[in-house]
Amino acid sequence: MKSVNIAKFKSELGKYLGYVRRGEEIIVLDRTQPLARVLPYKSLERKLLVEEPLDKARSLINLHFKPIQNKKVDSLKFLIEERGER
């Protein structure tokens, strides 16, 4: 890992990007304080991790649902009751 101050980084940008292309990390300093980190793009890629489930999933074929009853609902009345007088 290399560190460089802002002025030198700006004046020799091509040189430092060459280091990054070769896989190195550059820390850009504002005087003595780290300001930025320049990394190769490939190091930012995240890999997808796929794991086997702990339990087997149940089949959806055997699921049964209760039928929906055909009720007439006044949605405005329901909302007013639910919210009260705000």
Q: How confident is the model at residue 44, as a pLDDT?
A: 54
Q: What is the pTM of this model?
A: 0.49
CA-CA distances (angstroms) from residue 29 to 1, 9, 17, 22, 33?
Answer: 13, 9, 16, 21, 5
The H or E element that residue 20 is part of is helix 13-21
| pLDDT confidence bin for 60, thresholds 50/70/90 | confident
In this predicted model, what pLDDT tens digit does every residue of 18-59 receive, in sequence order?
Answer: 999 999 999 999 999 999 999 988 655 677 888 888 787 777
The H or E element that residue 27 is part of is strand 26-30
Q: How confident is the model at residue 74, as a pLDDT?
A: 82
Query: What CA–CA distance (Å, rounded) separates 28 from 32?
Result: 9
**Is 11 or 64 the better-scoring residue by pLDDT?**
11
